[in-house]
Amino acid sequence: MYQGKDPRADLFAATSKPTATGLVANEQAGLFYQSEPQQGGPDGKHWYLRGCNFVVAYSEVSPGAGLERKGQVDEYVLYLSGKADDVVVEWNGEKTRVPGGSIAFIPPGDSRIVLPKGGKPVRLFTVRSKDLAAASRNADAYDAPRTHIPPFKAWPEPVDGWKVRHYPLDVPDEPGRFGRIFRCTTFMVNALPTHVGPRDPSNMSPHHHDDFEQCSLALAGTFTHYLRWPWTTDMQDWQADKAVDVASPSAFVIPPPVIHTTRASSNGANELVDVFCPPRMDFSLKPGWVLNADDYPRPKAEG
């Protein structure tokens, strides 16, 4: 994962722009391992953290329980890290078995996820799911507008219509390809290879994004997120550097245009997943990077 040249390096250089001023750029942290859930009951516990465009829902679900959405406004993501966490997704009168160790995309409308053996699923929603945005521990964090982040706009619908789609996460690494990237109409998810042991401190990858957030979802191990705010011409934008230590499970939302990099620090397995909403065009333009690109087309060029 961290050997040799980072495949993203050319992308960073090609897309860098002058830094805007008047920034509202605050990181958001959901430390699910040490915080009380936002919802709970006999069927399970649920934690919610929102970003500008999205909501992360982390759950610990009892055997036989179901996760239901009524009138879901847009497509959402189900991420099953645990290989034993098999589920059945009910949508449009059909039942689809999704094995553990998979990512699934569930269409709009009514749906239900049944977990026969229980598990720890992660779901990703856009903030158009207003009930979940309101339930988030940081529900008011975006009351101040993020003027440098464009409004959310969904990508085109899948080529052969709506259905539950799922893909295995166990995809072999390939030279020149960055992680294991999947996208749908609302999200791009990069399941980074599990890294055993601490990351080499002499091989980090500090970078920034001009106009979109990155959510780093830690599912195993421990990490340090390093953040550096740019010195714009307005000193009100300046902040001191931060090094934020997190364990698993947690979600950490990194704002643009903050320079950032993350170091795995556990001696054991470190599992990190990067989330973007909507999908990233730069990653999508790299041949072979998006593993399910044939199912979900890119937007057509404007102009």
One DSSP character per residue, 126-151 reads: ETTSHHHHHHSTTTTTTSS--TTSPP
| Contact in structure between 53 and 154 (CB atoms under 8 Å) | no
CA distance 53 to 296: 20
Check residue 300 and give its pLDDT.
86
- Model confidence at 213: pLDDT above 60: yes
Rounded average pLDDT over 209-233: 96
Question: For a pLDDT cut of 70, what percent of the chain falls above it?
Answer: 93
Check pLDDT > 90 for residue 301.
Answer: no
Average pLDDT, the chain: 93
Q: What string of DSSP letters covers 20-45?
A: PSS-----EEE-TTTS--SEEETTEE
Cβ 64 vs Cβ 86: under 8 Å: no
Burial class (CB in 10 A: 0-12, 13-18, 19+), 141: middle
Where does the pLDDT of residue 227 fall: very low under 50, low under 70, confident under 90, or very high at 90 and above? very high
Q: Over 60: is that where the pLDDT of 220 sits?
A: yes
User: Which pLDDT does position 153 carry in this prediction?
Assistant: 97
**pLDDT-derived band at 257, boundaries 50, 70, 90:** very high
Query: What is the predicted pLDDT for the residue at 22?
Result: 79
The span from the CA of 196 to the CA of 71, in Å, is 41
State pLDDT tens for residues 185-198. Answer: 999 999 999 999 99
Confidence at 70, pLDDT banded by 50, 70, 90: very high
Under 8 Å between Cβ of 103 and 292: no
Q: Is the pLDDT of residue 180 over 90?
A: yes
Q: What would the mean pLDDT of 24-53 be, rounded to a whole number?
A: 96
- φ/ψ region of 71 (left if φ > 0, alpha if ψ in -120 to 50, else beta) reads left
Average pLDDT over residues 230-257: 96
pLDDT tens string 108-138: 999 999 999 999 999 999 999 999 999 999 9
Distances, alpha carbon 73 to alpha carbons 68, 123, 229, in Å: 13, 15, 35
Measure the CA–CA gap between 243 and 59, rounded to whole angstroms: 27
Name the nearest CA neighbour of 51 among 144, 145, 133, 135: 133
Statement: residue 3 has pLDDT above 60: no
pLDDT greater than 90 at residue 251:
yes
**Helical H segments across 103-229, by residue range:** 130-135
Please compute, for residue 251, the number of CA atoms within 13 A of its CA located in the half-sphere on the CB side. 27
Inform me whether the pLDDT recorded for 13 exceeds 60: no
Bridge partners of 279? none
pLDDT digits (tens, 9 = 90+) for 133-156: 999 999 999 999 999 999 999 999
